[in-house]
Amino acid sequence: MFRVKQPFVSVQRRFPRFQFHESIKIGITQGEMPTYAEGRGVDLAEGGAGVTTGSKLQIGDTVHLLIPLPEGGLRVPAYVRYQYGSEYGFEFVALGTTEREYIREACKSLMRIG
């Protein structure tokens, strides 16, 4: 019996993604004191970021990302949404209009990738 391959279906994203290759710190709270893991940005969007790290994170964890942007660093809470090898996808949570605009403005100087 032969299986028919399903056509590739693109995932519709809410925000465009931009190439972002900067060091990012991942704040992990387990217990009383947070620990920080090193990460490297892959992409950045108004709603989240892709980051590679050697640290092991769990899907659903809440972390804080320290993201260096041209106008100054930004600390944002985020959920771990996916993991593929050492790359993790983070969705920003509880962002206000000011933070979203700050990220949107920073992305204008970056190359769009999706």
- Give the tens place of pLDDT for each residue, 8-46: 444 567 889 999 999 999 999 877 888 999 999 999 999
Give residue-wise pLDDT tens across range 56-80. Answer: 999 999 999 999 998 899 999 999 9
Half-sphere exposure of 81 (CA within 13 A, CB side): 12
Residue 98 carries which DSSP code? H
Angle at 22 between CA 16 and CA 26, to 5 degrees: 90
